[in-house]
Chain A
Amino acid sequence: MLKIRDLHVNYGGIKALKGININVPDGKIITLIGGNGAGKSTTLRAAVGLVKLSGGSILYDNNDLTGIKTKDIVSKGLVLVPEGRRVFANLTIHENLVLGAYARKDKLEIERDREKVLMLFPRLKERLKQKAGTLSGGEQQMLAVGRAIMTKPKLLMMDEPSLGLAPLIVKNIFEIIQNINKLGVTILLIEQNAKAALEIADYGYVMETGNIVMEGPGRELLNNEDVKKAYLGIA
């Protein structure tokens, strides 16, 4: 579904990505793990056209995304839930969800998706008229995911959805990710919480300073000695 080939990204003189290859097949959960500054976020931001490529290509449904505007990429169903949730704090929850469907015209399906989101996140339903800024961190993450569902994603990319959340809520978020996947949405997940991510992932990539250093099925990486040492905190 998404094929990243030999992707290079430079920020000024700094090489953030040095030729990475990632394959996201239809219907799977793929995860990208690695430390701070490894280039995980840059990869996702390049995919939706928020940063310029210096080399390589990104193919989505066999179409090259180079030079295509973010809004058009989003309309094709390639959607990013950015790091730090980034809900529109000055808008109500209802309005945040409406904006998720901004570019869509299919009114009936929008309404159906809204019902779906409110079913997935009953907490949001109770607070529709409330400003998003008044929500707790976990609720904001739910709104960010709900808002992304309103864009009708085929491939949902999530940047650190568990960042800064209480352990119980983190568990909840990972369950929700699996549920969304079961609804037929392909997932590309970035996480520092490597263990939780690898547990639900079909396949994983490990990134270090702009390179993919290892890849394999989620379970395999979970049991890999190097991964354990570096990312799972198990000696």
Chain B
Amino acid sequence: MTFEIFLQHLSNAVSLGSLYALIAIGYTMVYGILRLINFAHGDIFMLGGYFAFYALTTFLMPWWVGFIVAIGLTALLGMSIEKVAYRPLRDSPKVSVLISAIGVSFLIESLGVVIFGGIQKAFPIPDLFGKVMMIGNIYIVSVNFFIPVIAFIFLVGLMYLINKTKTGMAMRALSRDHETARLMGIDVDKVIAYTFGLGSLLAAVGGIMWGMKYPQLYPLMGVMPGLKCFIAAVVGGIGNITGAVLGGLIIGILEIMTVAFLPDLTGYRDAFAFILLIIILLVKPTGLMGENLAEKV
């Protein structure tokens, strides 16, 4: 294998890893605040892709308008799911909310089959993202160049929001202590809704770019990426945003590189994430960047 081919694989790996990172953030943020694994998150990712598809094909919007509309709709949908399926169970045992999340996941998938149809749809790739580019001596499809760039821009925005704004501070406060946050006059329900909106927004960005990278959509496309990104969040240390990004990148790179260097194992490509999960749980159960949340004064 030449160095050029290696770089080509690497660009592919980093772009997949960036997508995983974007989706994993949604899992980790919701878990951080509600201690809930939002099993519907992978399906929200799928919806982001479909919304963009219909915006561009049925409604013939310019691609960037369509993408923005799709991202906005997905964020609103994420917030509605929280309101309808999770908020009424806020004071119920954790397992009830978990079951509700699994229910929402099945509901979205089944509705997807009914409404969108079970047959794959070809994603209408805008020219900008479908070009073959030459950087140095390597050829890459432009979408593989744009994915990490766009993911990075969204990450910077997210970090700013979390670390510098009052809402971000409230999110971090909520991840430790809901009751005290309430005592500060924080509208806890609103902050939780924002968190779902933000996570769903990032998942939608991921879903749209996924649609352009593997140019087809189908209602169950969110299942496997959803599982892998949940694993990415756990590997990085669930509740930790930097950890989720790191976990996503690691899983994406591991997956592509193993297939590239050990083609015999191609059939097992989905298994690597799970093997990594088992290893991490054995060696460092809190994840790479995770901390023990046991502390209480």
**Contact surface of A with B, Cβ cutoff 8 Å:** 48, 50, 70-71, 74-75, 79-80, 82, 84-86, 88-91, 95, 98-100, 102-104, 133, 137, 140, 147, 151
Contact = CB atoms under 8 A, between A and B. Distances in A.
Nearest to A94: B169
Contact of B297 (A70, A85, A99, A151): A85
Nearest to A157: B183
Contacts of A82: 179-180, 183
A140 B297 CA distance: 10
Interface string B285-297: 0000000000101
Given A71-B186, A102-B185, A102-B186, A86 B169 contact: no
Contacts of B184: 74, 99-100, 102-103, 147, 151
27 contacts: A48-B183, A50-B182, A50-B183, A71-B182, A71-B185, A71-B187, A74-B182, A74-B183, A74-B185, A79-B183, A82-B180, A82-B183, A86-B180, A89-B295, A91-B172, A95-B172, A99-B170, A102-B166, A102-B184, A102-B185, A103-B185, A103-B186, A104-B185, A133-B295, A137-B297, A140-B297, A151-B185
Contact of B183 (A80, A84, A98): A80
Contacts of B264: none
Contact of A99 (B173, B175, B179): B173
Nearest to B169: A95
A151 B180 CA distance: 12
A70 B182 contact: yes
B297 A88 contact: no
B176 interface: yes
Interface residues of B, number: 20
B176 A89 contact: yes
Given A98-B169, A99-B170, A103-B186, 19 more contacts: A50-B179, A50-B182, A70-B182, A71-B185, A71-B186, A74-B184, A82-B179, A86-B297, A88-B177, A89-B297, A90-B172, A91-B169, A95-B172, A99-B169, A102-B166, A102-B185, A103-B184, A133-B295, A140-B297
